[in-house]
Amino acid sequence: MQYRRIQKITLYYFSTMKRFSILFVTLTFCFFFVSTILFADADEKKRLEELRGIVDQNMKLELPSDLGKKRLPKEDVNAALTVYEASEKILAEKNISEEFRIWTLKRKAFALILLAYEETPRFFPRLAAVIDELDGKEGCEVLLKEAEQHVLQIGSVLAMNPADRKVAIDLKSLADRMILFAKENPGPEANLLIEQLLTMIDQIPQPNQRDKRLAIVAPIFVPYLLESNRKTVAQSLMADARRALLPGKPMLITGFDLDGKLFNPNQLKDKVVLIQFWGTWCPHCKEAVPDLIDLYEKYHSKGFEIIGINTGVKGDERVEKVRQFLATTTFGTKRKTIPWTILHEGIATAQNQQTVTKFYGIDELPVLILIGRNGTVLKLHPLLSTLDAEINAALNTVELTAEEQSMANAARQKQEEEIDREIQEQLKLIEKK
């Protein structure tokens, strides 16, 4: 009996000790676990406070009125870079509040506006991305409007003259984004952005590159300009679009000859026609005449015609002045005169009739347009160096199919290859992430 009693007491003792041991180990583990979390939270909070202090310390920045026109002071660039890097570290933390995250994103966006002008390839896509992240967030409206303006301004420059091919801009997407901004923020800022882009396009020296860009933006901008009652700008852009979109379409040819008789375009049926917009005052127009005379004499008997349209771009060239110019001016070493029909736009203007020049927005000279036998435009701004081959191919094609037109344009397309490649590299989508 005594033995059993001692045995029970011993078992009870060991059982109790086992429970206390488990409890002790559990409590010890909990203590260290909670301590680790508390210390980790304290470290994270301290780290975030330090980063927030760095951001605040370097946020004594302002957007200069001439931003983008000249380089920023080095200290401002360094401060903006510090804000950006500190913001990235804050946003990488997992346990920050939504309020703190928005606070950080706003300062990151501000720093990126400055940095995007300084190092466009690196920071421009990031600025566009942070704008999309802030879109719709309360209290960000003013910053978003200003940031979006800068994105559109930088995007316009890149679409026209990309300094670095690492940033690709889709001109159509840029124009769509510009119109969206204009509708959400009606006023002079939006109109100025559109005008600046159109001015940049207008200043492109190569006519083909200029018209290719106009063909992209005009269908997007014209409806908005009409809706906003900016009819003069809309009408001018519509005329540019008619010209830019001419390839593959029939062209309006009308006007009066130097005797005041209305020109009949039916006489051009089944002919390959070269339209030359020119003026007596235009040196480049006169430089091209000897080559055009050679082409006219070579192919006229085979169905090739040239129509010269004398414009009043630089003022009213009176009929008598043009008639005298044609009678007394010779070209080339063989001293030849212009043998083709000349239409005078001033007569149409005097009779209050629509001129071809205004209809197609011809505001600089010379302009050449090659039309096929089927009456549709083959080439806008053909080069003199490839015109012979294009005329020859067009004359030997009774009715141009898509394949035949491609063959007729082969010489010109080869010379345009480098320009086209450049344009295609520029016309990439602005990613909205």
Residue 318 lies in a domain: yes
Residue 303 lies in a domain: yes
Mean pLDDT score, 114-143: 82
Residue 128 lies in a domain: no
Q: Quick one: pLDDT band at residue 335, thresholds 50, 70, 90? A: confident
Provide the number of structural domains found in the chain: 1
Residue 6 has pLDDT above 90, yes or no: no
The predicted-structure confidence for 209-235, as pLDDT tens digits, reads as follows 899 899 899 989 988 988 888 888 888
What residues contact residue 287 under an 8 Å CB cut-off, 6+ apart?
none
Residue 284 lies in a domain: yes
CATH code at position 325: 3.40.30.10
Residue 291 lies in a domain: yes
Spatial separation of the C-alpha atoms in residues 66 and 193, rounded to whole Å: 15
**Unique residue bearing structure tokens 């200029």:** 210
Q: Contact, 252 vs 239, CB < 8 A?
A: no
What is the structure's pLDDT at 159?
81
Residue 386 has pLDDT above 80, yes or no: yes
Residue 289 has pLDDT above 50, yes or no: yes
Spatial separation of the C-alpha atoms in residues 278 and 55, rounded to whole Å: 61
Q: Quick one: pLDDT band at residue 273, thresholds 50, 70, 90? A: very high
- From residue 109, give the alpha-carbon distance in Å to each of 69, 78, 103: 20, 15, 10
pTM exceeds cut of 0.95: no
Structure-token pair, residue 256: 């009066």
What percent of the chain clears pLDDT 90, i.e. is strictly above it?
22
Entry field: residues in the chain: 433
Mean pLDDT score, 134-155: 83
Q: What angle do CA 300, 304, 310 make, to 5 degrees?
A: 100
Q: What are phi and psi of 354, to 5 degrees?
A: -65, 130
The predicted-structure confidence for 18-55, as pLDDT tens digits, reads as follows 555 555 556 555 544 444 443 445 566 777 677 777 77
Residue 31 burial (C-beta neighbours within 10 Å; 0-12, 13-18, 19+): exposed
In DSSP notation, 248-269 reads TSB-----BBTTSPBP-GGGGT
What residues contact residue 269 under an 8 Å CB cut-off, 6+ apart?
375
What residues contact residue 110 under an 8 Å CB cut-off, 6+ apart?
59, 61, 63, 83, 143, 147
Dihedral of the alpha carbons of 114, 118, 123, 128, in degrees to the nearest 10 = 50
More confident residue, 331 or 25: 331
Residue 289 lies in a domain: yes
More confident residue, 289 or 410: 289
What is the structure's pLDDT at 66?
65
Structure-token pair, residue 235: 């009408």
What is the structure's pLDDT at 15?
59
Q: What angle do CA 195, 196, 199 make, to 5 degrees?
A: 85
Residue 95 lies in a domain: no
Mean pLDDT score, 73-95: 85
Strand-pair partners of 371: 273, 377
Q: Contact, 274 vs 391, CB < 8 A?
A: yes
Residue 7 lies in a domain: no
Q: Contact, 277 vs 365, CB < 8 A?
A: yes
Domain interval for residue 364: 265-409
What is the structure's pLDDT at 425?
41
